[in-house]
Amino acid sequence: MDTPIKYLSGEKIYLRIPYEEDAEVIYAGLNNESESRLMRGRQVPVKLTTVKQALQQPYQKSYAYLICLNENDEVIGEVSISQNGVEINRCGDFQIAIYKEEHFGSGKGTEATQLALQIAFGQLNLNRVQLEVFQSNERAINTYEKIGFIKEGIKRQAWYTDFDYQDCVMMSLLREEFINY
């Protein structure tokens, strides 16, 4: 790929649409040990053929973007907003994956989340964005709270990972809360 088309830019990172040529980078990122232990709802390891197939199909119920560094266009992660009753409820499910630990705590995930929320509440006209996160992932929970997400409850032993059941925290952000943030 020549020059990637920036969909939405921030100070440190920008979001762009993934292409078939990105399959290897996405595959490596999703199977990175530091990221895969924080993932939920995905079979790990993710197969390269699965990534390639997903990139060949148009996103019908999900808006997915790669997180890239402004300085060198390196792909460092992904964000997605899945439609969850959009037509009736105007609600979307948010997910983020930062592929390498070296980018944890750098503000890049926060910035990517804020850009994705601009898409969710602006372009997609959602009223609510919700997410689920491991209760043990305090770094992510603190980030979401800093952005304005509110804890709504705990799903007990909702996910099985690392040979153990984990609780997850349900969080959400409403359009009016984001606009007033």
Which residues are known to be catalytic?
A: 144
Contacts for 161-168: CB closer than 8 Å, 24+ residues apart: 161/37, 161/40, 161/134, 162/37, 166/134, 166/135, 166/136, 167/134, 167/135, 168/40, 168/132, 168/133, 168/134, 168/135
Tokens of 101: 């630990």
Say if residues 124 and 92 touch (Cβ distance below 8 Å). Answer: yes
CA distances from 132 to 59, 136, 150 (A): 21, 12, 11
Residues shown for the chain: 181
CA distances from 84 to 1, 37, 94, 129 (A): 32, 25, 10, 9
Residues 6+ apart with CB under 8 A from 7: 14, 15, 16, 17, 65
